Amino acid sequence: MGKWIQALIYFVLRRLMHRRYDVEVIGLEKLESLEGPVLVLPNHPAYVDPPIVLSHLRFGKSLRPLVFTDTYRSPLFYPLMKVIDAYEVPNLQSHSRDAHTKTTQLIEEVAGELNHGQSFLIYPSGRLQRQGYEIVGGARIAYELLERVDNVNVVLVRTRGLWGSRYGCAQEGDVPALGRNALASFFWVLAGLVFFLPKRKVTLEVHPVNRDELPMESKTALNRHLEGFYNADGGETAKFVPYNYFFGPREFDFDAVKKKGAVDLSEVPESTVHEVYEIVEHRLDRKLEESEKEPSTTLDMLGLDSLERMDLALELERQYGFRSDHVPASVGELCLLAAGKAPTDEQPLEVPEGWVDETKTSTDYPEILAETIAEAFVRRALQSANHTAVADPLSGALNYRKLLIGATLLSKRIAKLESKSVGIMLPASVAADSVVLATLIAGKLPVMLNWTTGPAGLRHATEKLEVSHVVTSKRFMDRLGVEIDGVEMFYLEDVREGISTWEKLRTLIATYIASGSFLSHLPQPNPDDPAVILFTSGSESLPKAVPLSHRNLIADMRGGIDHMNFHRSDTLLGFLPPFHSFGLTAASLMPLLSGIRVVHHADPTDSRMLARIIAAYKPTFTFTTPTFLQYIVSSSEPGELDSLRLVMVGAEKCPTSLYEQTMKILPDLDLLEGYGITECSPVVSGNKPGQNKPGTIGLPINCVETLVVHPESHEPLPQGEAGLLLIRGDSVFDGYYKYDAPQPFLEVNGHRWYNSGDLVAKDEDGFIQFRGRLKRFLKIGGEMVSLPALEAPLAEKFPADEEGPKVAVEGVEKDGGRCIVLFTTEDLTLREANDLLKQAGFHGIMRLDEVRQIETIPVLGTGKTNYRQLRGWLEEGSEVTANS
């Protein structure tokens, strides 16, 4: 019965097609003698050629077409797809490891169907033609199928006459919108009264081929053979055929479309372009010809199939930190992705329903309501149940009631995990907030994992804390491409599927009629028990595990709220990852516990999206690093950042050039520099609104005391003298976890102080001036040489931009003396660099010994310069291009 229905549909389709297309099939009679499964392999000039081929190749076989999921699932075509028994294919325009796996499975499944006698219509290129000839390139599906199936008839089809159709790429320069063009065609059909349409001449040349005659020694050989058949006549010139004899357009300027679609690399650094060439050459295992380096060179032409193109795009994302949902199709598009300039179809962001909360006023004080994290959250959630708590572009906006319900349901699953410590690996998001809170409600210890440390660093962290499970999401891991040995992944997607509607409803009802039960079921930790494990940044040494107690975190949050004079009407933009101490404490826990709305974005390097989020959600303040702020300011459009009244930067010195650039576009902004250390939960000091001294890291917050001592004698120093910064107070941790070396504490004046390892001085008003890391000083001839001080004037001359830092100074002491090196992306000689230092007032031993030009300055996931890697290059004697 099914075959008769299909035959009827194809008959009707053929008659409808005849109104617009004059189709001639050459060689159809050659198919009558075919026995067994058939694999039809046509070229693909337009979206309309599949129905033409399916309805005109009549030889007693039921062909199953492979159809991409976007078309397959379209409401307009889905019923037809089911009737003709189309085979759904994952869309590889969105690149991910999951799509990669599904495509591999697809090939195996289709091969199995062919071996069982099923026949298929498959396009070897896997995509629409982008020009008047077919490029199979590195596509693998035809080769993989023929490798797996011996007894299959191969039918090659060369379609001519459709290049230039509105259903192809010639008119738009890219893949056309199928639904929109179908509706436009329907309009023209009606306008032409169905029977009076100019016809487009189409020919289908059908050639059965003996499988044994195909060149199967390699994928490349087969694909070149297919291209030779499809393009035997030299390809096609785009042809426009009007839809009406009397009115409407009579011609089309195809050349203008070609010019419009050209890739412009004028704003991409030349160094980035050359790096992309090298990456592509490594992938191809050969050098690129000069002609192949043209921006318009498609990756198909280079022999890269859809899976290889996807892998290449993911590699560039991991290396450069920029993302795009579009898989690059050409060398030029690869360069744009690497430079963070991949084209996007920007639409104004829609703020989710419930985000605006007009019930809060500027007089409402943000208050933390308990002495442990889980209790403070539950009390806040019960008190502010209907107030907006958190949002992100993926999850929308959640009020406290919904957040409490989600965290409670998740906590019951996390409570069943075997180990006390639970790894958490998620970006800044509603999901990350929910998981941290759920883990604490479950009585477990959250271990915040820094995925930028790579597999070795992650394995080190999970082994040290004896983590058996890591909570994450498939979506995130799919994009990240990182694996952790020795642990089981606990995916949020699986958890959601396992929660019944009844359990959700029961928990919702409890928030109204049994709210006290949420408090009574909480664990009762001591405030001095660890609440979370973070890790040091690793910029100077291997990361160390930092246990922060409930007392540490809550003292720091309360101190920060008082210091900055926040209001509950404020809104925070939080995008630093939760493995970053500022990201967890200041941009996640602090707003959630105190009642301040927070909107998250998962990627701190996605500067363009961050600017758009600020424009849409209108946050009033944010915490960031100078590097990330530079990205945002450089990527923003006029007016997008106007809602910000306060920005606090830390983790590295804020360049004067960035301060001036930011204040120029936001003259009313309080751009404040602060100072924090993971071991101090993290905020130690900061400038205040209305009490700001640019160039300093401000005043200590009220929960800490600070002391400046001599770096060697540890004697307290008078005001104005630079020395070692010591810190004590409720926000200071109690020591590294499972740490064999001496703990970082000193006894001075009868008190135990945390040794920050940083050199500072205090001015007459008590403002702290940061002078650099003690570890980043070299002792030469009895004098201390500050590497950050040498770097500062060079960084002023060559400020960081959206591409990252341009200079970094590192040095080591060697047997033969010192070695202080300027690493730079600029074309700068040693003499020029030292002249700049002289102009800044440095003389004698305060000079550079070498300049090394490198493609990019290495940075950590937090945006900090990775000095440990630079120092490693010096200690290992790595060869880097040096300018003398």
Tell whether 170 and 317 lie within a shared domain: no
Of the pLDDT bands very low, low, confident and very high (cuts 50, 70, 90), residue 880 is very low
Tell whether 790 and 769 lie within a shared domain: no
Mean predicted confidence (pLDDT) in 572-601: 94
Tell whether 198 and 220 lie within a shared domain: yes
pLDDT at 300: 65
Residue 168, Cβ neighbours under 10 Å: how many?
25
Domain of 744? 697-775
Chain CA centroid to CA 384, Å: 33
Q: What is the pTM of this model?
A: 0.63
Residues 811, 831 contacting (CB under 8 angstroms): no
Q: Which residues pair with 686 in a beta bridge?
A: 674, 699
Q: What is the pLDDT of residues 487-498, one digit of tens each?
A: 899 999 888 888
Q: What is the pLDDT of residues 703-743, one digit of tens each?
A: 999 999 988 888 999 888 888 999 999 999 999 998 888 89
Six-digit token pair at 317? 């994302």
User: Is 367 part of a structural domain of the chain?
Assistant: no
Tell whether 542 and 619 lie within a shared domain: yes
Six-digit token pair at 462? 């999970």
Q: What is the pLDDT of residues 111-148, one digit of tens each?
A: 888 888 888 889 888 778 777 888 887 677 888 888 88
CA nearest neighbour of 675 among 640, 632, 711, 727? 727
Question: DSSP label at 588?
Answer: I
Residues 321, 301 contacting (CB under 8 angstroms): no
Q: Which backbone phi and psi does 471 adopt, to 5 degrees?
A: -85, 125
Q: Which backbone phi and psi does 315 adopt, to 5 degrees?
A: -60, -45
Task: State the Cα–Cα distance between residues 544 and 409, nearest whole angstrom.
Answer: 32
Strands of the sheet containing 571-574, edge to edge, are: 396-399, 388-392, 597-600, 571-574, 621-624, 646-649, 670-676, 683-686, 699-700
CA nearest neighbour of 138 among 322, 280, 40? 280
Mean predicted confidence (pLDDT) in 569-595: 93
Task: Please indicate whether residue 361 or residue 431 has the higher confidence score (pLDDT).
Answer: 431
User: Is 538 part of a structural domain of the chain?
Assistant: yes
User: Is 117 part of a structural domain of the chain?
Assistant: yes
Mean predicted confidence (pLDDT) in 170-197: 70
558 pLDDT higher than 90: yes
Six-digit token pair at 769? 């001036």
Lowest mean pLDDT among 425-429, 491-495, 535-539: 535-539
303 pLDDT higher than 70: no
Task: State the Cα–Cα distance between residues 469 and 452, nearest whole angstrom.
Answer: 19
User: Is 879 part of a structural domain of the chain?
Assistant: yes
Peptide bond before residue 682 is cis, with ω within 30 degrees of 0:
yes
Q: What is the 3-state secondary structure (H, E, C) of 293-334?
A: HCCCCECCCCCCCHHHHHHHHHHHHHHHCCCCCCCCCEHHHH
Task: State the Cα–Cα distance between residues 237 and 257, nearest whole angstrom.
Answer: 14
pLDDT at 849: 85
User: Is 395 part of a structural domain of the chain?
Assistant: yes
Q: Which backbone phi and psi does 754 adopt, to 5 degrees?
A: -80, 130
Tell whether 324 and 401 lie within a shared domain: no
Last residue of a domain, one of 623, 657, 683: 683
pLDDT at 651: 75
Task: Please indicate whether residue 420 or residue 164 has the higher confidence score (pLDDT).
Answer: 420
CATH number for the domain harbouring residue 718: 2.30.38.10
pLDDT at 198: 84
> How many domains does the chain contain in total?
5
Query: Which of 54-63, 492-501, 583-592 has the highest average model confidence (pLDDT)?
Result: 583-592
Tell whether 193 and 303 lie within a shared domain: no
202 pLDDT higher than 80: yes
User: Is 343 part of a structural domain of the chain?
Assistant: no
pLDDT at 17: 79
Last residue of a domain, one of 232, 254, 276: 254
Last residue of a domain, one of 737, 752, 775: 775
Task: Please indicate whether residue 13 or residue 689 has the higher confidence score (pLDDT).
Answer: 689
CATH number for the domain harbouring residue 32: 3.40.1130
User: Is 689 part of a structural domain of the chain?
Assistant: no
- Burial zone of 267 (CB within 10 Å; 0-12 exposed, 13-18 middle, 19+ buried): exposed
Q: What is the pLDDT of residues 596-611, one digit of tens each?
A: 999 999 888 778 889 8
CATH number for the domain harbouring residue 278: 1.10.1200
Tell whether 227 and 293 lie within a shared domain: no
CA dihedral of 655, 658, 664, 666, whole degrees rounded to 10: -110
Tell whether 476 and 548 lie within a shared domain: yes
Tell whether 660 and 787 lie within a shared domain: no
Tell whether 176 and 40 lie within a shared domain: yes
The Cα-based distances of 197 to 242, 245, 755 in angstroms read 8, 7, 84
How big is the CA angle at 780 (ends 778 and 782), to the nearest 5 degrees? Answer: 115
CA nearest neighbour of 173 among 330, 310, 321, 40? 330
Lowest mean pLDDT among 275-284, 305-314, 431-440, 593-602: 305-314
Tell whether 412 and 541 lie within a shared domain: yes
User: Is 691 part of a structural domain of the chain?
Assistant: no
Report the first-to-last Cα separation within the chain, whole angstroms.
Answer: 82
345 pLDDT higher than 60: no
Tell whether 551 and 611 lie within a shared domain: yes
Mean predicted confidence (pLDDT) in 95-105: 62
